[in-house]
Amino acid sequence: MASKFRSTTTRPRKAGAMHREIKKRLLVVCGGARTEKDYFESLKDHYRTSTVTVKVRTDTRSPLHVVNTAADLFANSRDDFDECWAVFDVDAFDIKESIEVASRKSVSLAISNPCFEYWLLLHFCDHVGHLSEYKAVRDKIKSHLPNYDKAGIRIGDYLEGVETAVARARKRDKNQNPPGINPNTAVWRIAAQMIDSCP
């Protein structure tokens, strides 16, 4: 049975006939239980006309497990995806081995330092000062979004700031090796593909 993520082209029956555009296919494996998955799924739903398709999975164990899960899924379905991404936080983990394994196994990294919520914060402000932990980032988000709840991302709260967040994160992430200097996030590398590919 053909995967719903495998792209095909339809041969035109006559010169100049319309054909289906080949979509780039991303496999994204997130280390968070809900926040990351909810964000990407909601962004995917909003940008339905994108020329990028995204399949989101979760693995709530360590960053190394996230990388290995992503690598295994990618290896077992290489015909279904063009790129494979592991999305995880630095938090208190030693992620050196995760970065090395990802490099060997063709897994791209979207690491957030200290946490994914820094990516969300960039939708509202260009914060560049050190952030010690999730709570510090959460409090910054709440100053812009008082009803913020990590268990229930509402994409409508972020849509106006997505492109701005991409620009801010791209500038901060430039020329930095993973995981980057705190604060930093490479989530923009996935989001940019999703929003830049819309007609």
Residuewise pLDDT in 10s, the chain (199 residues): 444 444 444 444 344 444 456 789 999 999 998 999 999 999 999 988 678 999 999 999 999 999 999 999 999 987 899 999 999 999 888 899 999 999 999 999 999 999 999 999 999 999 999 999 999 999 999 999 999 988 888 999 999 999 999 999 999 998 899 999 999 999 999 999 998 754 4
For residue 131, count other CB atoms closer than 10 A to its CB: 22
Residue 92 within a domain:
yes
Residue 6 within a domain:
no
Residue 2 within a domain:
no
Percent of the chain as helix, strand, coil, to the nearest 5: 40, 15, 45
Distance CA 46, CA 63 (A): 28
Residue 12 within a domain:
no
Q: Is 91 exposed, middle or buried (0-12, 13-18, 19+ CB in 10 A)?
A: middle
Residues 6+ apart with CB under 8 A from 76: none
Residue 3 within a domain:
no
Range(s) of the domain holding residue 127: 24-196
Distance CA 39, CA 122 (A): 14
Report which residue type is found at 131.
L
Residue 113 within a domain:
yes
Residue 184 within a domain:
yes
Distance CA 151, CA 144 (A): 17
**Number of structural domains found in the chain:** 1
Distance CA 188, CA 194 (A): 10
Q: What integer pLDDT is reported at residue 17 of this predicted model?
A: 42
Residue 140 within a domain:
yes
pTM recorded for the entire structure: 0.86
